[in-house]
Amino acid sequence: MKSPVAPSKLTLRDLASEALAGVLQRPGRAALTALGTVVGVATFVIVLGLTATVGGQISSRFTVLGATEVQVEDTSADPGLDGPAFPEDAAGRVRAIHGVVQAGVYWSAGERTVNSRPLADTAGTDAYPVVAASPGAVTAMHPAVATGRLFDDFHNRSAEPVALLGEAMAKRLGITRLDSHPAVFVAGVPLTVIGILGDAQRHGDLLLSVVVPERTVERLWGPPAQGEPSKMIVETQIGAAQVVASQVAVALRPDAPDRLKVTAPPDPRSLRDSVATDLNSLFLALALTCLGVGMVGIANTTFVAVLERTGEIGLRRSFGARGSHIAAQFLLESAILGTMGGLIGTCVGTLSVVAIAATRHWTAVVEPWTVLPAPLLGTVTGILAGLYPAMRAARIQPVQALQR
């Protein structure tokens, strides 16, 4: 039926200012109430932020180095009988594969005494591993040259008696400068040191070895020994490792591809994703738990507020407020509490991620899709928490409310 008087109304603006006044009239309580939501939302942002940051960390390590390296290994039990695993032009064949940057053969040529003077008596001097490597293999291992240079195809082809040493090893042998063409005696054979390696990002063990061109090793000590199979390192472009790995065996040994064992790096994307999902689901559960606790906190406070303010509710009803006006006010109050908690929690969470990343020297990765909706998460928490108290408030009868 038609109302005999104009219906009661409450503008959004008035509703908002009433709700805000309701929250702010007890600022201490509001702060404590929002605390649960602050913790919940902060956890949410920290978890997602750290997952993204760590994920970025994992992928930056794996993508750049590990994920661009393919290893090929001779599986022959007796290379002496089966013949060399890699053809003469192995590097050329592999480089022809699309996506290959560098490739080369290398093997461990055993431990041999290394000395800086031509001692007849080698007893008492240290033995170091000798690595036979093609120039391509050395480059693919990404050594940093501290002094001098790496050997090249010329040194290799003509089996020059040259060697590369790691920095610490060179120092031990008393070699710091190369301008006088110092030599080391490896198993009594003089080799000219043409380069000192400061670092090797891949194959750090290179720094503890004497690296000699493969042909030189073959000339001096013969082909790879049994149990020390020759290997090939293939450096690929980012993202090409999997494809290259699937082609390399056939390219090298179309006659016997099975003789070669090819090891491709794990797909960085799936690795990162699996790490991320594990962390995500675990910590998201934690964040949700915190939000649940926050929700209970807001629900409890709002409920207490409704009970405390029954007089106010009755009074508002006597001014013509509808039940829905009362419900809207309490719902908005809890939504405001939740949003405040969400905003503060987002700030706390973001700052924490940045701080944690800074102490670890990581690059903080805070994805916008986690930060932007995070305050809304608080809002939703507040609204859900306020539903029941608001409903109760709407149902309080004005007569009851005005009795003291």
Report 20-39 residues binding another protein (CB under 8 A): 21, 25
Site string for another protein, 380-399 (x = CB under 8 A): -----------------xxx
Report 314-373 residues binding another protein (CB under 8 A): 314-323, 325
Which of 46, 47, 51, 43 is closest to 291 using CA atoms?
A: 43
Choices 39-47, 182-190, 294-302, 313-321; region in contact with another protein by CB under 8 A: 313-321
Minimum distance from CB of 388 to another protein (Å)?
21
Nearer of residues 231 and 317 to another protein, judged by Cβ: 317
Residue with tokens 């301008």: 179
Minimum distance from CB of 385 to another protein (Å)?
22
**Dihedral (CA of 165, 168, 174, 179) sign:** positive
- Classify residue 392 by burial, with Cβ atoms within 10 Å: 0-12, 13-18, 19+: middle
The answer to whether 216 and 151 have CB atoms below 8 angstroms apart is: no
The DSSP code sequence of 108-163 is EEEEEEEESS--S--TTSPEEEEEEE-HHHHHHT-EEEEEE----HHHHHTT--EE
Nearer of residues 97 and 321 to another protein, judged by Cβ: 321
| CA–centroid distance for 317 within its chain | 58
Question: CA 84, 140, 96: angle at the middle one, nearest 5?
Answer: 65
Phi/psi at 148 (5° precision): 80, -140
Count of residues in contact with another protein, rule CB under 8 A: 32
Minimum distance from CB of 19 to another protein (Å)?
12
Minimum distance from CB of 28 to another protein (Å)?
13
Choices 2-10, 31-39, 204-212, 246-254; region in contact with another protein by CB under 8 A: 2-10
Residue with tokens 């195809």: 153
Minimum distance from CB of 309 to another protein (Å)?
9
160 is a contact residue toward another protein (CB under 8 A): no
Q: How far is CA 258 from CA 199, 247, 253, in A?
A: 34, 12, 8
Q: What's the CA gap between 394 and 323, in Å, rounded?
A: 4
Question: CA 105, 106, 108: angle at the middle one, nearest 5?
Answer: 160
The answer to whether 168 and 263 have CB atoms below 8 angstroms apart is: no
Minimum distance from CB of 323 to another protein (Å)?
7
The answer to whether 342 and 37 have CB atoms below 8 angstroms apart is: yes
5 is a contact residue toward another protein (CB under 8 A): yes
Minimum distance from CB of 23 to another protein (Å)?
11
Nearer of residues 273 and 312 to another protein, judged by Cβ: 312
312 is a contact residue toward another protein (CB under 8 A): yes
The set of long-range contacts for 175-178, using a CB threshold of 8 Å and a minimum separation of 24, is 175/116, 176/147, 177/147, 178/147, 178/148
Minimum distance from CB of 308 to another protein (Å)?
11
402 is a contact residue toward another protein (CB under 8 A): yes
Nearer of residues 129 and 398 to another protein, judged by Cβ: 398
Choices 13-21, 50-58, 283-291, 338-346; region in contact with another protein by CB under 8 A: 13-21
Site string for another protein, 191-230 (x = CB under 8 A): ----------------------------------------
Residue with tokens 């043409």: 194
3-state secondary structure of 368: helix
7 is a contact residue toward another protein (CB under 8 A): yes
12 is a contact residue toward another protein (CB under 8 A): no
Nearer of residues 11 and 180 to another protein, judged by Cβ: 11
18 is a contact residue toward another protein (CB under 8 A): yes
Binding site for another protein (CB under 8 A): 1, 3-11, 14, 18, 21, 25, 311-312, 314-323, 325, 397-399, 402, 404
